[in-house]
């Protein structure tokens, strides 16, 4: 081998070592980059999962919170019962654990009442006659855009629902917007067997010349049970609604109270001629409270007048 050839050979080996070394360094760099990249990738994915879980959790908690607050306003009377995801739950409210009571499907106040009165045997308390005053061509009193016959009918339906829920059976003397004569109403009532009482629903009015008035009144006839019924219902209904108690008054010319045989009253829920009261009387939530108050009164009357169950 010549000197020249040996030199070339050495040079070649040197270059080859360098190439391999560089290749090794490049490979190591790529490997490191890959490790770093996959580390950050995993961290990013984990972070994303955590963020998604957190967002989901907050969204769910917020939805429950809003639902609970809304429902608390809706039925402040039932502070321990909440509606979450369309089912009734108990617990102390937003943020706390909710325990499911029952699936109801519908978000209605009736669900909560059904729960409250679940131990009452349907129809066990006797029959109540509900008489919605006026009807058909007879509109009754009018004021502030409110027509008496409509309010009477609306309250009579709510009163019927409330009575049934609380264990009564109900007879409506005027089930729709048709005229029913006064004598006919008395006949319908007198033909029924052992009714607890009759409540004739009316709205009051006052001529502008007579001044201003608002509040509830009972009108009745001097016979057994009627005054007690008038007073008991007034007390309970005024307590429930905050309306003024204007007392029980006697009238001899009212067919529905004078010609019937069971305790009976005409219940004047309020004055349509008073702008503030007229607005309340037309409000379904207020009508509901009137109905609840009347049934509270009927419960009390039944206990006092007939005694026991």
Residue written as token pair 């264990």: 167
Alpha-carbon torsion 147, 148, 151, 154, what sign?
Answer: negative
| Shortest spacing between CB 295 and Zn ion, in angstroms | 21
Among 126, 135, 140, 143, the residue binding Zn ion under the rule CB under 5 A is: 140
| Shortest spacing between CB 200 and Zn ion, in angstroms | 8
From residue 105 to residue 134, what is the string marking binding to Zn ion with x (rule CB under 5 A)? ----------------------------x-
Contact 220, 230 (CB under 8 A): yes
| Shortest spacing between CB 152 and Zn ion, in angstroms | 7
Kindly state whether residue 89 participates in binding Zn ion, applying the rule CB under 5 A.
no
Residue written as token pair 């309020």: 270
Q: Which of residues 180-219 bind Zn ion (CB under 5 A)?
A: 202
Q: What angle do CA 160, 172, 225 make, to 5 degrees?
A: 85
Backbone angles phi, psi at 136, to 5 degrees: 60, -130
Would you say 140 or 293 has its CB closer to Zn ion?
A: 140
Q: Which two tokens stand for residue 144?
A: 């502030």
| Shortest spacing between CB 102 and Zn ion, in angstroms | 41
| Shortest spacing between CB 195 and Zn ion, in angstroms | 21
From residue 275 to residue 304, what is the string marking binding to Zn ion with x (rule CB under 5 A)? ------------------------------
Would you say 182 or 238 has its CB closer to Zn ion?
A: 182
Q: Which range binds Zn ion by CB under 5 A, 25-33, 63-71, 79-87, 140-148?
A: 140-148
From residue 146 to residue 175, what is the string marking binding to Zn ion with x (rule CB under 5 A)? ------------------------------
135-160 burial by CB neighbour count: b if 16+ within 10 A, else e?
beeeebbebeebbbbbbbbbbbebbb
Kindly report the three-state secondary structure assignment for every residue of 195-215.
EEEEEEEEEECCCHHHCCCCC
Rounded to a whole number of angstroms, the CA Rg of the chain reads 38
Would you say 133 or 270 has its CB closer to Zn ion?
A: 133
Would you say 133 or 297 has its CB closer to Zn ion?
A: 133
| Shortest spacing between CB 140 and Zn ion, in angstroms | 4
Total of residues contacting Zn ion (CB under 5 A): 3
Please tell me the distance from the alpha carbon of residue 23 to that of residue 19, in angstroms, as a whole number.
6
Would you say 133 or 195 has its CB closer to Zn ion?
A: 133
Give the residue closest to Zn ion by C-beta.
Answer: 202
Q: Which of 253, 274, 116, 154 is nearest to 204 (CA)?
A: 274
| Shortest spacing between CB 228 and Zn ion, in angstroms | 22
Chain residues binding Zn ion by CB under 5 A are 133, 140, 202
């Amino acid at each position: 081998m010549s000197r020249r050839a040996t030199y070339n050979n050495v040079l070649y080996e040197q270059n080859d070592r360098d190439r391999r070394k560089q290749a090794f360094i490049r490979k190591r760099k790529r490997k490191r980059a890959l490790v770093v990249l996959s580390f950050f990738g995993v961290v990013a994915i984990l972070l994303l999962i955590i963020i998604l879980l957190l967002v989901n959790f907050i969204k769910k908690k917020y939805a429950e919170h809003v639902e609970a607050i809304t429902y608390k306003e809706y039925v402040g009377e039932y502070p321990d019962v909440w509606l979450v995801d369309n089912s009734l739950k108990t617990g102390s409210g937003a943020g706390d654990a909710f325990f499911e009571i029952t699936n109801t499907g519908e978000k209605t106040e009736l669900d909560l009442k059904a729960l409250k009165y679940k131990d009452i045997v349907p129809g066990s308390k006797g029959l109540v006659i509900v008489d919605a005053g006026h009807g058909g061509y007879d509109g009754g009193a009018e004021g502030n855009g409110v027509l008496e016959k409509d309010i009477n009918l609306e309250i009579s339906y709510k009163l019927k629902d409330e009575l049934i829920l609380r264990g009564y059976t109900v007879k409506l003397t005027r089930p729709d917007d048709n005229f029913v004569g006064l004598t006919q109403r008395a006949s319908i009532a007198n033909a029924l067997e052992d009714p607890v009482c009759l409540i004739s629903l009316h709205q009051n009015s006052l001529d502008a010349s007579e001044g201003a008035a608002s509040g509830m009144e009972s009108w009745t006839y001097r016979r057994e049970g009627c005054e007690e019924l008038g007073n008991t219902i007034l007390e309970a209904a005024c307590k429930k609604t905050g309306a003024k108690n204007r007392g029980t008054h006697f009238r001899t010319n009212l067919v529905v109270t004078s010609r019937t045989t069971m305790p009976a009253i005409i219940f004047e829920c309020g004055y349509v001629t008073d702008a503030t009261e007229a607005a309340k009387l037309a409000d379904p939530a207020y009508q509901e409270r009137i109905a609840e108050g009347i049934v509270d009164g009927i419960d009390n009357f039944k206990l006092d007048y007939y005694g026991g169950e």
